[in-house]
Amino acid sequence: MARAAPPPDYLRDPQAIYRESFARARAACDLSGLPEDLAEVALRLVHASGMPEIVPALRASADLVVRARAALAEGAPILVDARMVAAGIVARRLPSGNAVHCVLDDPQCAELAEAMATTRSAAGMDLAVPRLAGALVVLGNAPTALFRLLELLDAGAPRPAAIVGLPVGFVGAAESKAALDADPRGVPYLTLLGRRGGSAMAAAAVNALAFGLGAP
């Protein structure tokens, strides 16, 4: 029986892998049309997704990076719609030990979702209203959470410092992000038009906003 071919040689050093990975991501996409601070965020999203082609579909308010970073520096909490988003945030690098709250963790979430005939993520946004003022809201999973956040803002809920709206999927994701892009209700925002998004990209956006590209 013929012997299997030996595995190819590969990088093993973590720092070398990190540097090479970002170098290849940067070479694969055109960030020239973006402001420098937003290009930094975009590069992390490309790195997290492996999709350089997302760059033209990114949308953000001009003050997104400045406002989000200022809020994080002041200790703003981070509200997320899925535990996978929370798990991807590098908590040790948050500038002020910022608390990360998953809206699904509220013990009333399931009961409220049933009463409202909606998803737990959407109901969680209702329960998160007392924490909304000045928070960074990061949605990487549920379009219903983004739709509900916009409804709550229309109804007079406190304004968060910024919204990272990156829900993913075939039902409601594109529509919810288009609604955010069309009218962010005066809140700085970042989104990716279309179906693509997800927890990894949402967490990567927070990491870029928190500490940039200077460390893994």
Three-class SS string for 99-134?
CEEEHHHCCCHHHHHHHHCCCHHHHHHHHCHHHHCC
Let me know: does 199 contact 140? Beta carbons within 8 Å.
yes
Let me know: does 190 contact 165? Beta carbons within 8 Å.
yes
Strand partners, 146: none
Segment 174-179 long-range contacts (CB within 8 Å, at least 24 positions apart): 175/143, 176/143, 176/144, 176/146, 176/147, 176/150, 177/143, 177/146, 179/146, 179/147, 179/150
Q: Is 101 one of the catalytic residues?
A: no
Exactly one of 44, 47, 120, 177 is catalytic; name it: 47
Where in the sequence numbering do the catalytic residues fall?
Answer: 47
